[in-house]
Amino acid sequence: MKVTWDQNVCIHAGECVKGLPEVFKVVDGQFVIDPSKASDAAVLGVVAKCPSGALKADANAA
């Protein structure tokens, strides 16, 4: 699973961080995404809730 984030589209609603804080977090001022910390279904569910569409997921990518 590969998840990408477009900072130019993001409205910082925080749905990702609230939904899966173990996957989506801010570390040292940088947004970090580690999809290996949850199931593909859980990650896809949170990505689908992104109100701006800044998150995109590819379940077929490593």
Domain range annotation of the chain:
2-58
* Percentage of the residues of the chain whose pLDDT score is greater than 70: 98
Angle subtended at Cα 45 by Cα 13 and Cα 54, rounded to the nearest 5 degrees: 40
Return the CATH fold of 2-58: Alpha-Beta Plaits (3.30.70)
Tokens coding 30? 């940088």
* Predicted local confidence at residue 61, as pLDDT: 80
Report the predicted TM-score, pTM, of the whole model to 2 decimal places.
0.90
pLDDT at 10: 97
pLDDT at 62 over 90: no
pLDDT at 52: 97
Q: What is the pLDDT of residues 23-48, one digit of tens each?
A: 999 999 999 999 999 999 999 999 99
Q: How far apart (Å, rounded) are the C-alpha atoms in residues 29 and 57? A: 22
Q: Average per-residue pLDDT in the chain? A: 95
